Amino acid sequence: MTAWTRRHCVCTEVRNLDYEEAAAALKIKVDWLRDNIGKLPHIKFGQQPAVFCHCDLRLILAMHTAMPAQALEVLNAPAEEAAPTPAETSTVRSLATSRPAKGRARRAVAQT
């Protein structure tokens, strides 16, 4: 296994899951994981049973996501239709015109 095969992994610490833990996290039967291990991202140390990091699980989720055409249309819609932005604008305006806080709250605001 070369390093480039783990490029989907963004783990900063090792917190691998065994078959049972991975199946529990995915809410699937452990037998399905075992039966399909050859087609799934996983980590293998010689003869040890395979283990999974959470990035492996995310990739497995992506591989098995069912996306109906109508859902894909919504996802691919222009940004203005899919995610209107007025809320963002009004939030900025309300922060700009808001009155300064007093006491401890004021110091907390100043630090951010």
Residues of this chain that bind Zn ion (CB under 5 A): 9, 11, 53, 55
**Residues with Cβ within 8 Å of residue 40, at least 6 apart in sequence:** 33, 56, 60, 63
Q: How far is the CB of 31 from Zn ion (least distance, A)?
A: 24
> Among residues 46, 36, 35, which one has the least CA distance to residue 1?
46
Q: Which two tokens stand for residue 75?
A: 């996802």
